[in-house]
Amino acid sequence: MPSLLITGAAVATVDAAGTEHAVGHVLVRDGAIAAVGAGEAPPGTVADRVVDARGHLVTPGFVNTHHHLYQWATRGFAVDEGLFAWLTTLYPVWALLRAADVEAAARAGLARLALTGCTTTTDHHYLHPREGGDQLAATIEAAASVGLRFSPTRGSMDLGSSAGGLPPDSVVEDVEAVLAATADAVARHHDPSPSSTVRIGAAPCSPFSVSPRLLRETAAQAAELGIRRHTHLAETADEEEFCARTFGARPVEVLEDLGWLGPDVWLAHCVHLSDADIATLARTGSSVAHCPSSNARLGAGAARARDLLDAGVPLGLGVDGAASSEQGSLADELRQMVYTARLRGGPEAMSARDALRAATAGGAACVGRSAEIGSIEVGKRADLALWDLRGLGHADLDDPVVALVIGPTPPLALTTVEGRVVVEDGQLRTTSEERAVADLVAARRRVLARR
């Protein structure tokens, strides 16, 4: 693999000490960070490619901790509805998806992530229509074509409308089918090695679409298989009311009672939390995927991000599905994280560096890869983003991290995953953006024609 030397850039390592260099260098060899430091590289340093990055900022590549890639083909539905009404509108449409549609939607969503600084992403694919084909495999194929590091989850729902759940019966499965499919996905796709580009997780959808039995049994299976767990939690007031009516408890209490909290768990949203809920998440070592744009779009509320961080809860950022967050840009979520926190707690509630950490090291913690990605340190994998700060939107901002987070999203000069170039000069180098657009439009038309 060709070696790479980035020199002359500002460097935000996002290591534990928050080390930054106003002018620094990063050396990549064999897919890993070989050197990082202040100033020019030491005399005698050689690389197959040298990038003069004066006027740029290099950061760890962003880690997207929550997505539903299949939704990219169904943007713009129920734009003025809350979560439950929005889901009720879209479930029948999603039931029409086939594997080819999901592959096209996933490739478009992944391309958008790549073009906004993301190098690792999760996906929560919980909808498996009976005639839909292998949709999880379709997302994995799409991620390979775009070149992102991928942590997809084999999601599930078993509580259909006839049993008191929200989704239609046509898209739910029984517990045995879920467990068999999860075991099969792990056997076929999961790679636990440090340089892995695919790791599978288990992800029942939410307390209002899965049974207690499914939650208990997927927890036991995940422990046996050595994989991480993911689900939605405490996203809306409706969910809080559902859990109170059904279980006589708050959503966090429900999950803890079912054995669904712990250091191998990351939870999407967590908007409606009490002080006791936050303490429980901290005590159990559970992580949170904060999705500020989606929460705003659906009117779900603003998560207590500052309180979660202060309690020691690992916090990452997520774009969420494109049907509830049409931007699909992780770079935009940093700014949204700062703004929504300040609406709750004032100007000191969240800093630009807090947001950068959530998008990088925090995300790596959520997906269980802190030892490998999320910061620029010797020995970690070479997942990098190089931002061009020389233009109109940033040239007069002296602090490059503030320029990245608070200013307009800068042009992306380069991203690498495992040392391989994915984006260069704002263009995908791994797959055709034009083909991704054409395939996405065709997939959307196919799905809507089935109604």
Percent of the chain with pLDDT over 90: 89
Q: Tens of pLDDT along 19-48?
A: 999 999 999 999 999 999 999 999 999 999
Strand pairing class (4-12; 20-29): antiparallel
What is the arithmetic mean of pLDDT over 309-320? Answer: 98
Asked if residues 383 and 149 have their Cβ atoms less than 8 Å apart, the reply is yes
- Spell out a b/e string for 28-66, using b for 16 or more CB atoms within 10 Å of the CB, else e: bbebbbbebbeeebeeeeebeebbebebbbbbbbbbbbb
What's the pLDDT score for residue 296? 93
What's the pLDDT score for residue 156? 96
Domain boundaries for CATH 2.30.40.10 within the chain: 4-60+382-428
What is the arithmetic mean of pLDDT over 341-364? Answer: 97
Answer whether residue 375 shows pLDDT above 90: yes
Q: 62-366 has which CATH code?
A: 3.20.20.140
What's the pLDDT score for residue 161? 85
Domain boundaries for CATH 3.20.20.140 within the chain: 62-366
Mean pLDDT in the chain? Answer: 96
Strand pairing class (118-125; 32-38): unpaired
What's the pLDDT score for residue 60? 99
What is the arithmetic mean of pLDDT over 211-225? Answer: 97
First to last CA, the chain: 48
- Confidence tier at 165 by pLDDT (50, 70, 90): confident
What's the pLDDT score for residue 108? 97
What is the arithmetic mean of pLDDT over 143-167? Answer: 92
Q: Tens of pLDDT along 401-447?
A: 999 999 999 999 999 999 999 999 999 999 999 999 999 999 999 99
Superfamily of domain 4-60+382-428: Urease, subunit C, domain 1 (2.30.40.10)
What's the pLDDT score for residue 171? 87
Q: Identify residue 50 by its one-letter amino acid code.
A: V
What is the arithmetic mean of pLDDT over 280-301? Answer: 96
- Confidence tier at 158 by pLDDT (50, 70, 90): very high
Q: Report DSSP state, residue 394.
A: T
- Confidence tier at 140 by pLDDT (50, 70, 90): very high
CA 343 to chain centre: 23
